[in-house]
Amino acid sequence: MKKATLYFLACALVLSFSACSNYNEVMRTNDYDYKYEVAKQYLAEGQSNRAATLFQEVIAMLKGTDKGEESLFLLGMSHYQAQNYDAAASVFRKFYETYPKGYLVEEARFYAGKALYECTPEPKLDQSATYEAISEFQGFLDAYPESKLRESAQQMIFALQDKLVEKEYMSAKLYYDLGSYFGNCTNGGSNYQACIVTAENALKDYPFSNRREDFAILVLRAKFELARQSVEEKKEERYHNAIDEYYGFTNEYPESKYMGEAQKLFEQASPYVNDEEE
């Protein structure tokens, strides 16, 4: 049993050394057509990093030939399959700038967006990369409105927008949760006002978001708290604003899961408004 194990281990080592030796030989050769074919084979076998290394070596030598366009595209695909998404996006952008009328340009523009899509962070982090990915996909859709990849690009845009919506919701919620912690609500700006502005902007920017109702209740809560913590001379006006928000909320979301909370806020606000009908 031990002899058999040692035999198979020795075979594995020989095969591994042979593969390494072959790769090293390919790296040393000046036959760029051969390197190119081997690189394609590595990519097909899933050895993406090796493929990328070889494609990187041959693209300069093959530029201007019938293989130059394909080699640059396959370099991008090698990086993409190796999950080197930043590098992939950079190569695909270089591709469609270098070969704006090439036969692979549509796919290159799509994969530039897709590579950026894979780099986008979770919602709580900075979303600059998300905006960049959306912009790249939008450029693709503008250039190829009838593309077979259009639906896939649109779905990824929707997913990216959901990240932006979640980021805005987390920001608005944070402002609300901070309340008067950083500042006095009776003097100028406050976290509640920041919550209102952030949530209202999100409602305008993302009118079809599934977070719309959540943003709306945040605005109502923040307006009520802003009124409650105001000096006496501002209470009536701000409670008026909160009550107006309540009516808008109940009209838009008559079956809201927040209706009980909204009704309680209305009942607490009503006594402060002289002309409010019972």
Predicted local confidence at residue 189, as pLDDT: 63
- The pLDDT of 250-265, averaged and rounded, is 97
- Residue 147 neighbours by CB under 8 Å, 6+ apart: 106, 110, 140, 141, 153
Burial of 42 (0-12, 13-18, 19+ CB in 10 A): buried
pLDDT tops 90 at residue 216: yes
In tens, the pLDDT along 174-195 reads 999 999 876 544 445 689 999 9
Predicted local confidence at residue 17, as pLDDT: 35
End-to-end CA distance of the chain: 91
Q: Find the range with the poorest average confidence among 16-30, 55-69, 119-133.
A: 16-30
- Residue 117 neighbours by CB under 8 Å, 6+ apart: 133, 137, 156, 159, 160
Q: Give the other-Cβ count within 10 Å of 66's Cβ.
A: 7
d(CA 2, CA 18): 24
Predicted local confidence at residue 21, as pLDDT: 43
32: confidence class by pLDDT, cuts 50, 70, 90: confident
